[in-house]
């Protein structure tokens, strides 16, 4: 049950598929063998696993990030938020800036050089924790 409790809040597809038959073709499922401490998952457990937590989108802000992964086809990335030259938390991101597919764009240059950059982004929060960044542009220094 500890595994289900750990995986379910992350909304892993495999956990949801595991409990899918409950309430349709089965009233419970049993995980494990009785001799090794099997446990039953009930309809109430399925409802908790299937529960969708609402996400919150924050206001646009400028953050200093270090791009640690970058996919130019899907425009997805992983970034570490940098505060006082220390990486704080690594989170997934999605770059919506139209210049991302262009050769030598600022994101691929920052990734290649492993230098932090300031970006305009909207944060997404799940259960009060930063879950994802939607990056819309490179933040320009004020003139």
Same domain, 33 and 84: no
Which one, of 75, 77, 72, lies nearest residue 117 by Cα?
Answer: 77
| Predicted confidence band of residue 143 (pLDDT cuts 50, 70, 90) | very low
| Predicted confidence band of residue 18 (pLDDT cuts 50, 70, 90) | low
Domain extent, residue 92, equals 56-138
Same domain, 60 and 83: yes
Same domain, 86 and 38: no
Helices (H), 1-143: 2-7, 13-19, 43-50, 106-113
Q: Which helix (H) or strand (E) holds 36?
A: none
Other beta carbons less than 10 A from residue 103's beta carbon: 6
- Give me 68's structure tokens: 């640690």
Same domain, 12 and 42: yes
Other beta carbons less than 10 A from residue 62's beta carbon: 13
Positive or negative, the Cα torsion across 119, 121, 126, 128?
Answer: positive
| Model pLDDT, residue 121 | 97
Q: Do the Cβ atoms of 10 and 24 come closer than 8 Å? A: no
Same domain, 80 and 130: yes
Same domain, 88 and 132: yes
Same domain, 30 and 8: yes
Q: Quote the number of domains for the chain.
A: 2
Point out the domain boundary residue: 10, 30, 50.
Answer: 50
Same domain, 94 and 46: no
34 assigned to some structural domain: yes
143 assigned to some structural domain: no
Q: What is the pLDDT of residues 100-122, one digit of tens each?
A: 999 999 999 999 999 999 999 99
């Amino acid at each position: 049950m500890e595994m289900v409790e750990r995986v379910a809040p992350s909304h892993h597809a495999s956990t949801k598929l595991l409990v899918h038959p409950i309430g349709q073709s089965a009233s419970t499922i049993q995980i494990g063998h009785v001799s090794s401490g099997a446990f039953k998952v009930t309809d109430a457990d399925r409802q908790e696993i299937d529960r969708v937590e609402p996400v919150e989108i924050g206001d646009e802000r400028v953050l200093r990030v270090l791009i640690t992964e970058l996919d130019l086809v899907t425009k997805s990335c992983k970034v570490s938020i940098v505060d006082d030259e220390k990486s704080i938390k690594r989170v997934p991101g999605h770059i919506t800036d139209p210049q991302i597919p262009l050769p030598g764009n600022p994101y691929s240059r920052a990734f290649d050089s492993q230098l932090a950059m300031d970006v305009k982004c909207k944060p997404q929060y799940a259960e009060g924790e930063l879950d994802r960044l939607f990056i819309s542009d490179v933040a320009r220094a004020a003139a």
